[in-house]
């Protein structure tokens, strides 16, 4: 598995190309609550740091009027604004059969969650993206949408969170393949699933800035461990303890992203389950991608392996050290 280290001298360059900051993924959220017949409270939350000059903007039926607009305010990692929408021309069915959407998703390579709660208790949620920037509100909500949407959110989160992917990559470098890889990734999965569930279900809270710092620290510790020449200490012999322990921290990070998105109140366990399923699918896809690249290029890169072997480890250490400093300052602020 040493050849995998060679490959990632190239692949980790993509991390540097994306910038120095780890991406703390959370999709934009449009929450629509019916407060009277054809009258709605609208809350719009979007990341404070955009990725394009094209703004993300909610869209609604042309016949609706917007009143009581509140200016955007910073809240956590996002900007939140609110307003009231009155739609007297929609008739008795209200938004059912009409279209809601978000413009600018393609330019920002972003996704948005739309959550709707009607007076009669019906609740809807839909994930919008560049391919589907709008949707028609159906007459009846479906369980299948919850499973699909939260699986997609889980996959988007793990693929959008470069810090989580770098930790998984570091585990690959540490353990190689075979049963050691299976047990180590399983331990990481169990760890982050435990804290993701406990935090989301409200069993305990945590300081977000401190957890973000410890996630960066976990990658740095892993990078330091990879520089050791000895293969006889406990972490090398039993890497699942390290993976499971740090998995608990990463699970809190996942829970933070899920909290910013929100959960359907009538389907919290199902949404939580499939968000976690999405994370696992994304994680396994990343691992299979690494192994596939390793298989393709291990022979061509073999003559340069001695020079290239340290490179991905140093990049891993440098990025995580920078994140530790950045997030440590946020903790002290």
Residue corresponding to tokens 């490959």: 7
Mean pLDDT in consecutive groups of 10 residues from the start of the chain, 333 residues? 46 46 65 91 83 83 88 79 90 87 85 87 85 88 80 87 89 84 91 92 86 92 82 72 91 84 78 91 92 82 73 87 91 84
Say if residues 201 and 260 touch (Cβ distance below 8 Å): no
Helix (H, G, I), strand (E, B) or coil at 22: coil
Predicted TM-score (pTM) of the model is 0.75
128 forms bridges with which residues in the sheet?
A: 112
Cα dist from 198 to 194, 203, 230, whole Å: 6, 5, 37
Q: In terms of C-beta density within 10 A (0-12 exposed, 13-18 middle, 19 or more buried), how is residue 76 classed? A: middle
Determine the length of the chain: 333
User: Is the backbone of residue 31 left (phi > 0), alpha (psi -120 to 50) or beta?
Assistant: beta
Residue corresponding to tokens 């989160």: 157
What is the residue extent of each domain of the chain?
3-24+161-332, 28-142
- Predicted confidence at residue 10, as pLDDT, reads 44
Spatial CB neighbours of 263, under 8 Å, sequence gap ≥ 6 = 200, 271, 272
- Cα of 159 vs its chain's centroid, Å: 7
- Predicted confidence at residue 14, as pLDDT, reads 45
């Amino acid at each position: 598995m040493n050849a995998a280290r060679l490959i990632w001298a190239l692949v980790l360059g993509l991390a540097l190309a994306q910038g120095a900051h780890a991406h703390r993924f959370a999709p934009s959220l449009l929450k629509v609550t019916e407060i009277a017949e054809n009258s709605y409270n609208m809350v719009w939350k979007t990341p404070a740091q955009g990725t394009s000059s094209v703004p993300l903007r909610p869209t609604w039926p042309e016949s609706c009027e917007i009143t009581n607009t509140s200016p955007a305010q910073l809240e956590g990692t996002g900007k939140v604004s609110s307003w009231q929408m009155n739609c007297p021309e929609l008739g008795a069915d209200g938004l059912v059969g009409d279209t809601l959407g978000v413009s600018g998703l393609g330019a920002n390579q972003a996704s948005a969650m739309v959550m709707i709660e009607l007076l009669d208790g019906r609740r809807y949620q839909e994930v919008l993206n560049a391919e589907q920037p709008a949707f028609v509100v159906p007459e009846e909500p479906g369980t299948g949408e919850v499973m699909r949407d939260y699986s997609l959110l889980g996959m988007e989160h793990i693929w959008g969170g470069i810090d989580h992917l770098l930790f998984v990559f570091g585990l690959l470098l540490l353990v190689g393949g075979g049963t050691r890889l299976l047990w180590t990734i399983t331990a990481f999965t169990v760890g982050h699933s435990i804290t993701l569930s406990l935090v989301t279900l409200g069993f305990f809270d945590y300081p977000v800035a401190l957890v973000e710092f410890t996630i960066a620290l976990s990658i740095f510790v892993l990078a330091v461990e990879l520089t050791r020449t000895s293969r006889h200490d406990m972490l090398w012999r039993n890497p699942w303890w390290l993976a499971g322990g740090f998995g608990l921290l990463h699970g809190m990070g996942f829970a933070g992203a899920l909290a910013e998105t929100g959960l359907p109140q009538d389907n919290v366990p199902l949404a939580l389950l499939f968000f976690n399923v999405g994370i696992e699918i994304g994680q396994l896809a990343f691992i299979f991608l690494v192994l596939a690249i390793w298989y393709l290029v291990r022979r061509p890169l073999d003559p340069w392996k001695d020079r290239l072997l340290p490179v991905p480890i140093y990049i891993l250490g440098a990025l995580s050290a920078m994140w530790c400093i950045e997030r440590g300052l946020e903790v002290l602020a």
